[in-house]
A and B are shown apart, each in its own frame.
Chain A
Amino acid sequence: MRICRIGIRNFANFRNFEVTTGRNIVVVGENKVGKSNLLFALQLIFDPSLSERDRRLGLEHFWDGLGDDKLGETIEISVDLTDFDADPRLVAHLGGYLIDPGPPMISRLTYRYQPMASLEGQPGSLADYEYLLFGGMYPDTPVGSTLRRMLPLDLLPALRDAEKDLANWRRSPLRPLIEDLAGILSVADRDAILEAVDGAQAALSERPEVVAVARTIGRRLEGMVGPAHATSVALGLAPSRLDALLRALRLLIDRGERGIAEASLGTTNLVFLALKSLELDRLIQDGERDYTFLAVEEPEAHLHPHVQRLVYRHFLETAEVDDEDVDEDEDPPERAGDATAGRHVTILTTHSPHIASIAPLRSIVLLRRQADGSTEGVSTAEIPLNDAEVDDLQRYIDVTRGELFFSRGVILVEGDAERFLVPAFADALDIHLDELGISVCSVSGTNFAPYVKLLGPSGLRIPFVVLTDRDELPDGTALGPGRVRGLLGILRPGRDYEAMDEAEVFRRGALRGIFVNSSTLEPALFATGMRRQMVRVLKADLPLRRANRELLDGWEARPSTLEPTGLIKLIERIGKGRFAQRIAPAATADRCPAYIREALERIRDEVA
């Protein structure tokens, strides 16, 4: 099962919000854009620990943009669920709330906070409001607490105090594991344990020194309240009942040398998450739950980046196991010892590129503020990408590129050379990419299509420009125009770009943010004032034969004589990326190739 759509009206940051979602949901967005509010919205529907009072919202929960007109408005949160057809228990929970019989079936759950239906006229205050939780299309089908109990949302908040939760017996995820212990131990084992503990206890508490201390306390007590009221005291280790003993078990770390209270925040959180994961397994196995929506707010808190990646890959991947893959007769797939495999989805909110980088591509939900102050959501769930493109992007989005999802604008470039030089030229042009939230991303080649789909109008709708080479071949034809035609086909389908000549294609490309040079980057740079630095670096870094030095001098003196292939061969001996780094300090505004400048100015204007 999965959530396939979330709709929110008039709630917190959301005026009229709708987003389609994939199996897991990784919510990314800037601070204060409404990530936590999105989780709260889901809690209103799914969280069994929320009280009646919590579900009666306050004025502060209405969309801010309503200003003084909040009373009388209705808050509505609806979630569509799908892909549960194969599990009769889930169908039993949700089959009464269908909005589409499918296949696959889709059911809808809705929370609505509204002026009371019985009210005549305008509500005078929130006392005239009521909330409804209903399923399907119509509010006369209430959703009961059984659903919340058996398909609950578990929220681990950002500022959780893992140490306190572990210490609090009633709330500790350790508790059920230890309670199971009591059932496993045989009577003989129990007796042996008690005997051993009693022995140890006696060894300590019957020492005369210890007894003396107890007696001192006893005498003082008697002195204070007299013998009738004084209780007798003794010093001992632990209550000698087995269940109490088991409860006294504590998690120890570092080979038992330290208690969890002394551990670092990171370790505590890690242990907490491991116990939480075991708890989910157990709840499913015991039949107390049929499904869990595990929501973790800002999982990056207190965790080292590597550990972040490992831990959340665990949660996300066990959830990605499809329901039909969970088959007891088959060899368990990697990590699928977990009973929760296929029985939970993970919902994360994060601003960590580390987490974003390990998120399944289809799981990203991007929140961003719109002009009216409300938040819109876009997601990767339904971007028309084929499997190869998904794989390509999934490989591509590593830690450094995870920041793509947090960018306000993206400059897509072919390789490392552009990745070093474009920021340098941007600085020179007074366009400060970091401040503007613009990332430069290399696609390591010329296959821009998946990225354009990801960022483009039917994707995340993040403004972007493409910088690419015209790539003229020895026979005089060029690869660039075909590439641009392909991208235009994605961005603005329905035109016959094949019939257009190169100039027309490039003109239209530029209108859509695709900028092309005349051949490749390095010759284009050589045509500018950069060539001095280029020649200097080549001479300095390469052991050049005399003939080559003279050749370079000749090209520098008369740029029109440049043989592009010869130049590139020399540069490749250093490595294009390294070479670019070396010449970058020489970047100035007037040395910037025109196509780069146009691209930078365009993206600057678009994110403004």
Chain B
Amino acid sequence: MQNCFHCGLDIIKEERIIFDEKDFCCNGCKTVYEIFSLNDMTCYYDFEKSPGATPLDIKGKYDFLDNEGIVGKLLEFQEDNTAIVSLNIPHIHCSSCIWILENLQRLQKGISTSQVNFPEKKVRITYNTEIVSLKTIVHLLSSIGYEPYISLENYETGKNNVDRSLTYKLGLAFFCFGNIMLLSFPEYFEVKEYWLDNYRPFFRWLIFALSLPSFLYSASGYYVSAYKSIKSGMLNIDIPIALGIIIFFIRSTFDIVMDYGSGFFDSLTGLIFFMLLGKMFQIKTYSFLSFERDFKSYFPIAITKINADSSEESVPVYDIQKGDRLLIRNQELIPVDGILMSEKAEIDYSFVTGEAIPITKKSGDKVFAGGKQMGKVIEMEVLHSVSQSYLTQLWSNDVFQKEVEQKHKSITDTISRYFTPILLLIAFAGFGYWIFIDANIAFNVFTAVLIVACPCALALTAPFTMGNVLRILGKKKFYLKNALVIEQLAKVDTIVFDKTGTITTNKKSNISYEGKKLSEENLILVKNVLRASNHPLSRMLYDFLPESKRYKINDFEEITGKGIQADIEGNQVQIGSASFVGKSEDGNIQQTTVHIKINEVYCGKYIFNNQYREGLANLFEQLSHNYQIKVLSGDNEGERDTLESILPKQTELVFNQKPEQKLEFIKKLQEEGKNVMMVGDGLNDAGALAQSNIGISISENVNVFSPACDAILDAGEFRKLNYFLKLSQKSISTIKMSFALSLLYNVVGLSFAITGNLQPLVAAIIMPLSTVTIVSFVTIMSNFYAKRLK
């Protein structure tokens, strides 16, 4: 089998196209190659082998880009003739992609520059509006296989501000820390030299000046957080940190002013730097994924409306009103609920339900928002506007309204609830003891306790463990929204699965045959007829049937919603629904079936059963030891028996659940005090995913869109779910061990402090030492667990 030079897919022998001594799988790929070779850009193929994608037919799809109002909303910048637009291109995946997209100006006049952001899969194009329009650019991109993804989400985004304050703070903290360290060296060695003694005040005040930006700006986040937590009555870890930093600063300043010593500015700035570093490490973002998606990222920006005088016009989706007539093309998404006006339509609701097999609708039927139209152009009349449609109404639920800043208390905060009072107690006890002996020492001890106990190591433990585990999981294709999710994963006691698309896969189908046995010759006929059809069921059945010879087909006809018929080698073959082959529908309509009729004789039917994911039974068996498992399904009970035979006995199965009911189901479990993890895939699970303590979205292709959730799991790794849960529990125990270790350091430090012996040099050694040991301990432990667990 040969692979296409452009896209790398297998070439079907009969369709092979040879051009310029290279093999292509289809005309689309060949055309792209032609474009590139004409423009002298064939080194596109040098960087990576077969990097391309087959361009899809997009006729009319981007007509809405003629509407200047819509284009204006998409642009990032526009002035005079210059415009800048950022387009999301899901196909970006290799260096060839970067090269071709950054050389767009050679393909199209009017584009001045284009720049790729690889991690975000975006290209930023600057162009001259006089010479070229956005529509032309989008068409150009589509024609070379890089179709941009433009959805309602892009609407009114314009320029978004990136928050870089942490980078500034970290940079500043490092600057101060580094310089202060250098300037502190003379003091560390305390060489009794005239020369050094002479310049001591200069060094000290310089250090003081350098510590100010770090103290005032870099550490500002801790003061704010500590203030907030005191106000809300929740003692978090930032209180002892902020307290430590402030005492550090005051004591050090006091030392310099009174000429007692050099102060602890080196340790202070080091502490701030390390803690910010921990914060930075914890933030690992998968910029090509989005965890905040709602229906907006699925829905088109504009749709074709048919005016009363039967002229067509592109209107923004938000402007659609009840009673409008809309035109929906092949592969377009239906943005609103409505009534079908055309005779027949096939609607694929896989976005919504995860079910891959399209549903047939007749004229007068209701069609719901979120379905994808397959087949010929249809017309529909609008029943509800976007915000009032069946699916989008889900988003008016409270779960989506409030921005919950911190849903849960983190493990560090739980510990610091005890830590802060105990720390203050020790500090005051030390102060109380020394005050009767020497007021000066008492003051020193009090501040030294707060300084040395400043829970730097404690505060670093969680970020470094979580950050590391986050990266380990990311490598195993389990992408978490942030580090807090790990803690939630460890707490889960109930797991709720969606059925369609989550524990079943829509990639493969389990096909069985019922009826008169087909002769070998007939099988070949059926396979050949199926070859010509693009219907998903035909494709699945085609892949299922054994390889065969090829025949020429005459009079092929595909009737939307019914089936296909063809004349082949003198035989009349009909494949399709029961009514199409003239057979009355039998009682069991819950099955998806395809009936076969050859030469006016009914043969039998192929039954499509759900294909459960690999390793499902095994996974559920493992999970059932530690968790309560429930399966929710939007479908009817047709699969109950099969599911019961695969899944462990205590699994609860609930059928016929609407999106809101799924949400309520989760809510009820939570009210019973359960920590619920929801695993789902489609938009209909979005409510349940948002309501649950942790929502995991399963995705066949993580670059494609998944509903808002806390984590995205690559469908191929589904059976490892138990491993992920175990690993998160282990990382929590790693954190606990490391807490014990850092408390040990605190005890050592405190013994210095309480006896009044804390020298700047001691502090300068203990602090980085504890940091380094803690960081290496948690990194080694979490890597160890990741390897050892199976």
Q: Do A and B come from one complex?
A: no
* Partner-A contacts on B (CB < 8 A): none
